[in-house]
Amino acid sequence: MYKGKVILVTGGTGSFGKKFVRRILKGDVKKVIVFSRDELKQYEMKHEFIDSRMRFFIGDVRDKDRLYRAFDGVDIVIHAAAMKHVEACEYNPFEAVKTNIHGAQNVIEAAIDRGVEKVIALSTDKAASPVNLYGATKLASDKLFVAANSYVGEKPTRFSVVRYGNVVGSRGSVVPFFKKVRETGRIPITDPRMTRFWITLDQGVQFVLDSLDRMHGGEIFVPKIPSMNIMNLAKAIAPECDIDIVGIRQGEKLHEAMIMEDDARHTREFDTYYVIQPEFSWWSKKQQNEGKALPNGFKYTSDTNTEWLSINQLKDLVREM
């Protein structure tokens, strides 16, 4: 699938981008382009990834002209660039809209006009029934990428979305934070009932690659992944520490969701993942008849999940970071 292809990753210097690039370079790709706005991170990545197939573009997804230049000759785009920290989006709402919504539109238009074959946009569980601005901007982004398949007209570009939960050990996530504050002997917990979906970077990269292979255009792919309780995570990382209950922060949910009841009506279940189908006509009729329909009232939320990570499993995941 990737032999001789040119692949571009927006936000390519982030946690996902670096892991994805490392993985894709093991194959017979023609070129891998990292598109991001941080020159220092690109400089560091350039010295970490010594490969003649690597290219680096300084640019921002807010800048459509720069995207047009970067997408020239590109076959596949992985759109991972985003403002993703809940608090930062709450306090800088206009900036979040410019990057996560206007940036998505720019990626779509540049991909269509440059003849890109496939685009996968990374989303988040916070986009399902959002309560914070980050989730709301990613929901809008998801809608744009799904609708873009109608927007292309007769052109061949296809767009799909991958939606998954919290990534173990990604920059700014709770694991490195807990590791840092355990030196104080106290761990701050927002609410002991809090649950989250949990996925590793390797699993996230593999799911994106699998979704690229499966996509027809218009799908939102959702992996079946385990949940964890925040108290168990604290016990796995710092069992010797005392717990301070500090209360839920602005824009936070007690539990996360990836599929709500209204989406479940047009979702198909497979062995290891779900596909939220577009509500307009498919480009290919094949996928509509695959998988299994979900029962009435189904929802996929972190507190009602059937798979949970134990304290020992969480210890193993944290140890591998």
Query: For residue 35, what pLDDT is reported?
Result: 98
Share of the chain above pLDDT 70, in %: 97
Mean pLDDT score, 34-53: 95
The helix/strand/coil state of 107 is: helix
Query: For residue 288, what pLDDT is reported?
Result: 63
Domain ranges within the chain, ordered by starting residue: 6-165+199-225+260-300
Q: How many CB atoms lie within 10 A of CB 42?
A: 18
pLDDT at 171 over 60: yes
**Topology of the domain covering 6-165+199-225+260-300:** Rossmann fold (3.40.50)
Query: For residue 287, what pLDDT is reported?
Result: 57
Mean pLDDT score, 6-34: 96
Quick one: which of 120, 97, 96, 98 has its CA closest to 108? 120
Contact partners, residue 260, CB within 8 Å, separation at least 6: 128, 129, 299
Helix residue ranges per DSSP H, the chain: 15-24, 39-48, 64-70, 86-91, 93-97, 103-113, 133-151, 174-181, 201-214, 230-237, 261-264, 311-320
Contact between residue 66 and residue 57 where contact means Cβ atoms under 8 Å apart: yes
Query: For residue 282, what pLDDT is reported?
Result: 62
pLDDT at 286 over 80: no
Query: For residue 60, what pLDDT is reported?
Result: 98
CA–CA distance, 54 with 214 (Å, rounded to integer): 26
Query: For residue 284, what pLDDT is reported?
Result: 57
Residue among 5, 18, 84, 126 flagged as catalytic: 126
String of DSSP letters for 156-171: --EEEEEEE-EETT-T
Query: For residue 251, what pLDDT is reported?
Result: 84
Quick one: which of 310, 281, 193 has its CA closest to 245? 193
Is 126 an annotated catalytic residue?
A: yes
Each residue's pLDDT tens digit, 198-240: 999 999 999 999 999 999 999 999 999 999 999 999 999 999 9
Mean pLDDT score, 155-166: 94
The helix/strand/coil state of 184 is: helix
Each residue's pLDDT tens digit, 75-121: 999 999 999 999 999 999 999 999 999 999 999 999 999 999 999 99
Burial (CB < 10 A; 0-12, 13-18, 19+), residue 187, is: buried
Extract long-range pairs of 281-290: CB within 8 Å, 24+ residues apart: 282/216, 282/217, 282/218, 283/149, 283/158, 283/216, 283/217, 283/218, 284/216, 284/217, 286/216, 287/216, 287/219
pLDDT-based confidence at 62, cuts 50/70/90? very high
Mean pLDDT score, 260-283: 89
**Residue listed under structure tokens 């709450």:** 90
Contact between residue 76 and residue 7 where contact means Cβ atoms under 8 Å apart: yes
CA–CA distance, 278 with 288 (Å, rounded to integer): 10
Q: Which of 13-17, 79-83, 278-282 has the lowest mean pLDDT?
A: 278-282
Q: Which element (helix H / strand E) includes 122?
A: strand 118-124
Query: For residue 189, what pLDDT is reported?
Result: 94
pLDDT at 1 over 90: no
Mean pLDDT score, 20-47: 96
